[in-house]
Amino acid sequence: MRNWQLQPEEVIQNHRVEQALGPRRYRVTSLRDGSSRVLTLLELSDAQAVTQFEADAKKLCRLRHRALVSYVEQGFVERVDGYWGLLFQELAPGVSLRQWIESGAAPSQERVVKFAQQMLEGLGFLHEQAPPVLHGQLCPDYVFVDNQAGPKLVCFGDVERFEGATQLRGAVGFAAPEETRGQKAVSSDLYALGALLVYMLARRSPAELVTPGGKVDLRSLRLSTWLAPLVERLLQPDASRRFPSASSAHLAFERKETPLNLKRMLILGVVLTLLVAVPAVGFAWYSTRSEAQTAAAPAPTVSGVLPPRLPPSGALVVWQREFVGHLGVVSSLAWLPDSEHFVSAGYDGAIKLWHRDHEEPLRSFSGQQGQVQSLAVDPQGKIVAAGGKDGQLRIWSVESGKVIRSIPDSAGGIHDVEFSKEGKLLASSGADGVARIYDAETGKELRRFSLGSPGLAVAFSPDEKLFATSAMGPDITLWDRESGAKLFKLVHGASVSDLKFTADGAGLISAGDDTRILVWNMAARDVRHVISVHRDEVWRIALSDKNGLMATGGKDHLLVVSDPFKGEPLQATFGGNVGFPALAYSPDGRYLVGGGAQQKIWLYYAEKSTWFPTPVLTAPPRATFKPSDGASKARA
């Protein structure tokens, strides 16, 4: 291995060397603007390696995320001993995680969980690039902590691959088992993150806790009942048993999901079997005696409840075009009234205006900071509202693309934004457990609603008299929009990610983490239909007032088209290895756009002129459901 050591005061590519930080890493000062940076020297084998390095390094320099310390410049030099790549990165704030722990820091489990969520955001952003960008050498030396800025990743992009390295410096105890065999994948970064969490809690290397079977022993850490299974899953020696992605791991940490292991499931199954079987013996004896005297009544049926099955394929939506312009997950989509233009938002912080017939964006909206989680366009198509992780509710002019107003909304981030039908009101749902309604023109807050847990979705009824909200938990709450009075609750049974009123206001549709879509009868306050097609969390609902169809998407990669008025699924389209966090029908009902984790937007032709809403919900009979149906009545 070649050796090149820079000396203090030496100048290289318009940077003055200040001090050595480690093997081939130096603190330098830019002679252009005086900023402090970190230079990494990379040994390149030949001219072909130089070409590959330049292409990859340019991509790395374009990546921007609040959990990353950005690369700002790249280059290479040719010396007598060969080629060397130069990669300049911003100087990270704070100290390395190793320095912080060795200085005596003892973070609580709550802080470690927050650290995990922030790191998963950064890793998720990297992994969602095309192709995925791996960190590749995640260890305490390459994470910096700062009380103000939060943890940040440095040296991401698996830069040491340019040197053909198979053993990572400083990563003993943090590298996944497959890395010792020269194999790396997205799940390798997740293993390293799990090891970092153990390091923070145990204040020693995870290698000291590894059992003969290759697993990290977590018992001495006394983790909470929900946290232990999540860390254990990150640290699975078998990569296939870890979380499939950083985003799925982030969701599990955010919602404190505790997976049931097989042993617990078997025990639960035995207990339930005994509870059912013992009473059944007595009931069977009683029913045998009664059979001769009483004719058996026909088994009751439940109107509108569909068996879990995939609907037949059809031609209700046909893929037409693909748009590429985001650097991360496409999180939200909304059409303008002309049905020709639509707006997209993503986790890369970008908001873009598109024409359905052009594959390049027409405009980027300026002024957004950080991840965008929801956007909406007013009914007149003049303004765009969006909210995201930074907690600011921003409003843009569609014509100019510039920010009109920025409203401090939720300190924990905004999950959903919606305009009322007339466009005079704008609502938001925040991670701080509060939903708010604003005057869309002035930005004045008109009313706030306490949800009791982080808010997820909001919806106005078409007449704007009702306001529906969902939060972490099984309930949907209906409010009097004008007075702010709580009217009643509907029990979905799981957290609801999206809510939509039907065009006549007689129905409300909820999409839940329990895989179900419920169509609620607002007059009777109970469930009219249950649509069970999805196999995982349902994230988004798109309703077409024009043709009466509903499109839903979620974690299972399925795009499902249904008739919500009949409770019938009509078509299921597989979207590839990507979920659908964003869906929107054009106002004329002819097009459907969808977005997901591949940084792409898909346009579907969706016109079906013979489809119109079936007026089932205008004067419906009251439906009744037993608890076994999984549909709960409203709770006053």
Q: Average pLDDT for residues 273-297, to the nearest whole number?
A: 39
CA distance 312 to 297: 34
Task: Please tell me the least confidently modeled range out of 125-139, 232-246, 437-451.
Answer: 125-139
Predicted local distance difference test score (pLDDT) of residue 407: 94
Q: Where is pLDDT greater, at 266 or 625?
A: 266
pLDDT category at 93 given cuts 50, 70, 90 is confident
Average pLDDT estimate for 75-80: 86
Average pLDDT over every residue of 541-561: 90
Pair 85, 50: CB distance under 8 Å: yes
In this structure, CATH architecture of domain 318-622: 7 Propeller (2.130)
- H/E segment holding residue 48: helix 47-62
Mean pLDDT, rounded, for 607-619: 37
Residue 362 token pair:
């027409």
Strands (E), 7-66: 11-12, 15-22, 25-30, 36-44
Q: Which of 204, 261, 257 is nearest to 230 (CA)?
A: 257
The string over 430-452, giving b where at least 16 C-beta atoms fall within 10 Å of a residue's C-beta and e elsewhere, is: bbbbbbbbbebeeeeeebebebe
Indicate if the pLDDT at residue 508 is higher than 70: yes
Identify the residue with better confidence: 51 or 481.
481
CATH pick for 100-258 out of 1.10.340.30, 2.40.128.20, 3.40.640.10, 1.10.510.10: 1.10.510.10
**Which pLDDT score is estimated for 190?**
94
Residue 259 has pLDDT above 60, yes or no: no
Residue with token string 């905004």: 414
Please tell me whether the peptide bond between 337 and the residue prior to it is cis, using omega within 30 degrees of 0: no
Specify the pLDDT at position 248. Answer: 81
Q: How confident is the model at residue 627 (pLDDT cuts 50, 70, 90)?
A: very low
Region 605-610: what's the mean pLDDT? 58
Contact 207, 191 (CB under 8 A): no
CA atoms within 13 A on the CB side of 576: 11
Helices (H), 171-316: 186-202, 227-234, 246-255, 262-291
| pLDDT computed for residue 579 by the predictor | 78
Please report the DSSP string for 573-612 in residue order.
EE-SS---SEEEE-TTSSEEEEE-TTSEEEEEE---TT--
Q: Where residue 578 falls among pLDDT bands split at 50, 70, 90?
A: low
* 469 vs 122, residue with greater confidence: 469
Instruction: Tell me the pLDDT of the chain averaged across its residues.
Output: 81
Name the residue with higher pLDDT: 630 or 176.
Answer: 176
Q: What's the pLDDT score for residue 612?
A: 33
The per-residue pLDDT for 64 is 86
Neighbours of 80 (CB within 10 A): 4
- Is residue 318 within 8 A of residue 604, CB to CB? The reply is yes
Q: What integer pLDDT is reported at residue 100 of this predicted model? A: 93
- Average pLDDT of the residues in 154-162: 64
**283 against 74, higher pLDDT:** 74
**Is residue 306 scored above 70 in pLDDT?**
no
pLDDT in tens, 106-145: 999 999 999 999 999 899 888 888 778 888 889 999 999 9
Q: State the DSSP H helix or E strand holding residue 88, giving kind and residue range, or none if neither.
A: strand 82-90
Q: Domain 1-91 sits in which CATH superfamily?
A: Phosphorylase Kinase; domain 1 (3.30.200.20)
Q: Are 595 and 602 in contact (CB under 8 A)?
A: yes
* Contact indicator for 138, 189 with CB cutoff of 8 Å: yes
Where residue 547 falls among pLDDT bands split at 50, 70, 90?
Answer: confident
What are the structure tokens assigned to 346, written together? 């993503």
Tell me: the pLDDT tens digits for 5-54? 899 999 999 999 999 988 888 999 999 889 999 999 988 888 888 888 88
Residue 576's pLDDT is: 54
Mean pLDDT of 494-521: 95
Q: How many other CB atoms are found less than 10 A from the CB of residue 411?
A: 11
Element holding 123 (H helix, E strand) = helix 109-127
- Kindly list the strands in the beta sheet with 591-595, ordered across the sheet, starting from the edge strand earlier in the chain: 318-324, 600-605, 591-595, 582-585
Mean pLDDT of 79-99: 88
The residues with which 529 forms a beta bridge, in sequence order, are 519
200 three-class SS:
helix
- pLDDT band, very low/low/confident/very high, at 311 (cuts 50, 70, 90): very low
Band the pLDDT of 257: cuts 50, 70, 90. Answer: low
Query: For the segment 193-216, what is each residue's pLDDT rounded down to a tens digit?
Result: 999 999 999 998 888 887 776 788
Query: Can you tell me which residue has the tokens 């839940």?
Result: 512
Q: H/E/C letters for each residue in 241-280?
A: HCCCCHHHHHHHHHHCCCCCCHHHHHHHHHHHHHHHHHHH
What proportion of the chain, given as a percentage, has pLDDT over 90?
Answer: 47
**219-233, 252-266, 285-299, 417-431: range with lowest mean pLDDT:** 285-299
Q: Average pLDDT, stretch 349-358? A: 92
Mean pLDDT over 573-599 rounds to: 83
Quick one: average pLDDT of 169-173? 57
Domain ranges of the chain: 1-91, 100-258, 318-622
Kindly report which listed range (24-38, 271-285, 314-328, 406-420) carries the lowest average pLDDT score: 271-285
